[in-house]
Amino acid sequence: MRDFLPAEKARRERVLSIIRDRYRAHGFDEIETPVMEDYDRLHAGIGGDNEKLAYNVLRRGLDADAVREAAADPAALADLGLRYDLTVPLARFYASHRAELPGVFRSVQAAPVWRAERPQKGRYRQFVQCDIDIIGDASTRAEAELIVATLDAVGALGLENATVRINDRRALDAMLDAFGFAAAERPGVLITIDKLDKIGPAGIVGELRERGVQTAAVDAFEAFMNRPQALEHLPFGERQIRNALPDGVPDDVIADLVAIGEAVAATQPAAVPDGPPLVFDPFLVRGMGYYTGTIFELAHPSVPYSLGGGGRYDGMIGRFLGTDVPAVGFSIGFERLVDLLETSEADAAASVVLIHDADVALGDLLALKSQLVSEGIRVRLERRPKNLKALLERAMSDGFTSFAAVRTDTTRAELEVKPLA
């Protein structure tokens, strides 16, 4: 968990403002949910490994004897917990307010979440997530809208050439079935396949054999990975998808992926000849157990890790509502984006430090400041110190772009504004 100094806080808010603005432009409405949810909801088996990282809140009124008696049962000690993502709270929110929401609900959430991570670079115990979700639309239009809106937001931040890796959990299941993996083996097999980018095909095959899964299935998987493949110019299309999968994947799954690609491609400039910014990845897994269909991750050539991801989770809301409702979401990795983006002039809007002599009347100072503020300029008042250089350096580190000297009777027209840099 971190503190943020003024310049960094302003930078984070600028990035958030751009993301929110682009999502609103695409028709998404922002909501807010409490930072805590019921313990049973957070530990309902839909949060994957994140449930193990949840911060639980001790029940009120427990005395020492009650704590000792319940020590072996976390559920008896806690009845609330800090949210570890924004998807579980959204599902609860929709189940609670469905009658007040449109039939197809497009939501934005940008808020902190908490996980008991082991502190290290890029992993924090408190961090911001930026989620957009579409609830109530079972068609591929929902996935296409999410992808287009997210690519627009990332582009507005100045990250060009971003792509979305895409797969479908139904295709993964069909592929494992075609190879001959037993149903009971598949969760563990998917955990291993998810390491493909790190350990390569040979490492995957070796780990699968160490797991003791069916030898014939591993042999079939190895043969598929080593098959000769023709080079494809375009990264996404029906031919590319079929060539990347074994026989037996249902046609409707492939048709859904193709439809998403065609819809996203329609939003691209005519000058872009290489199709949509999508890449089909038959071994994209994503670990969350609640995904039921399409899954995707946001990638950028400047970094080896994803900048966000999501997928379809049609079964989650039904756990709270009692009726299945289609849902799909895309989450931007806000912390990774902020770390990746370079500081630009836009981080520091028009701003000035007014350095005044001690004898300048307070009323005159505030009148001058108010005039500048009314012009859309950020203003800070500072009495002239002995060490002017240190003051200017501090003002620059706080995000100010300019300074001006103010003496008795200095007017707006006489103010000489100079850049700090």
Provide the token pair at 41.
């909801």
SS3 readout for the chain: CCCCCHHHHHHHHHHHHHHHHHHHHCCCEECCCCCEEEHHHHCCCCCHHHHHHCCEEECCCCCHHHHHHCCCCHHHHEEEEECCCCHHHHHHHHHHHHHHCCCCEEEEEEEEEECCCCCECCECCEEEEEEEEEECCCCHHHHHHHHHHHHHHHHHCCCCCCEEEEEEHHHHHHHHHHHCCCHHHHHHHHHHHCCHHHHHHHHHHHHHHHHCCCHHHHHHHHHHHCCCCCCCCCCCCHHHHHHHCCCCCCHHHHHHHHHHHHHHHCCCCCCCCCCCCEEECCCCCCCCCCCCCEEEEEECCCCCCCCEEEEECCCHHHHHHCCCCCEEEEEECHHHHHHHCCCCHHHCCCEEEEEECCCCCHHHHHHHHHHHHHCCCEEEEEECCCCHHHHHHHHHHCCCCEEEEECCCCCCCCCCEEECC
- Nearest CA to 305 among 274, 261, 337? 337
> What span, in angstroms and rounded, lies between the C-alpha atoms of 100 and 90?
14
Asked if residues 161 and 300 have their Cβ atoms less than 8 Å apart, the reply is: yes
Asked if residues 262 and 238 have their Cβ atoms less than 8 Å apart, the reply is: no
Asked if residues 75 and 99 have their Cβ atoms less than 8 Å apart, the reply is: no
pLDDT at 371: 93
- Using the structure block, give the residue that is written with the tokens 């704590």: 67
pLDDT at 277: 87
Asked if residues 116 and 55 have their Cβ atoms less than 8 Å apart, the reply is: yes
The residues of the chain scoring below 50 in pLDDT are none
pLDDT at 108: 97
pLDDT by residue (tens digit) across 44-91?
Answer: 877 777 888 899 998 888 888 888 877 777 778 888 999 999 999 999
pLDDT at 149: 96
pLDDT at 270: 59
Residue 300 has φ and ψ, to the nearest 5°, of -140, 140
Bridge partners of 294, per DSSP, are 168
